[in-house]
Amino acid sequence: MNKDGDIIIIEDDSDDRELLIHIFEELGKEHGYENRLVLIEEAEDLIDFLKSDEANPFIIISDINMPKVNGFDLRNLIFSDAELRRKAIPFIFLTTARNNEKFLQRAYELSIQGYFVKPINYTAYKKLINDIIAYWKNAQIL
């Protein structure tokens, strides 16, 4: 895991992508995060990106409810690929699915590193994103 690597967001909703861009720009200025933000709209494009020479992943933050390949299937694709699994990229779900025990159970069965519900207000959303990034920036790695 490269702590200065890409923060990869898989999000199909354009409004959510714009909001996350704004949050990461603010957090970068406030906390000195220099990670490149990589936004991917279609989950199936992530595998090709991760296997490209362009990819330098730090963390993956994925929505669950997406049209073609949902977040669960995406996580399974990454986890079942030996090359990608060895990269040990932290995989986080960021979703609107509140109080969904079935989703939570399925997510953790896929060995994710976090499941977070998208806050409704901007301040809480920004704090959540900062908490996630700060946690992984401070984690001990090999």
Residue range 36-48: mean pLDDT, rounded: 93
Residue range 19-42: mean pLDDT, rounded: 95
- Give the predicted TM-score (pTM) of the model: 0.93
117-133 pLDDT, tens digit each: 999 999 999 999 999 99
Q: Which CATH number does the domain housing residue 31 bear?
A: 3.40.50.2300
- Residue 28 included in any domain: yes
- Residue 78 included in any domain: yes
- Residue 65 included in any domain: yes
Within 8 A by CB and 6+ apart from 68, the residues are 42, 43, 44
**What rounded mean pLDDT belongs to the chain?**
93
Per the DSSP assignment, residues forming a β-bridge with 38 are 8
Predicted local confidence at residue 97, as pLDDT:
81
Give the C-alpha distances (Å, rounded to integers) separating 124 from 37, 65, 112, 129, 141: 20, 21, 22, 9, 28
Predicted local confidence at residue 99, as pLDDT:
77
Contact 64, 51 (CB under 8 A): no
Contact 6, 55 (CB under 8 A): yes
- Residue 142 included in any domain: no
Tell me how far apart the alpha carbons of residues 60 and 78 are, in angstroms, rounded to a whole number.
11
Domain range for 117 is: 6-99+106-137
- Residue 54 included in any domain: yes
Per the structure, the count of domains in the chain is 1
- How many C-beta neighbours within 10 Å does residue 62 have? 24
Within 8 A by CB and 6+ apart from 66, the residues are 10, 12, 42, 43, 74
- Residue 1 included in any domain: no
Predicted local confidence at residue 142, as pLDDT:
63
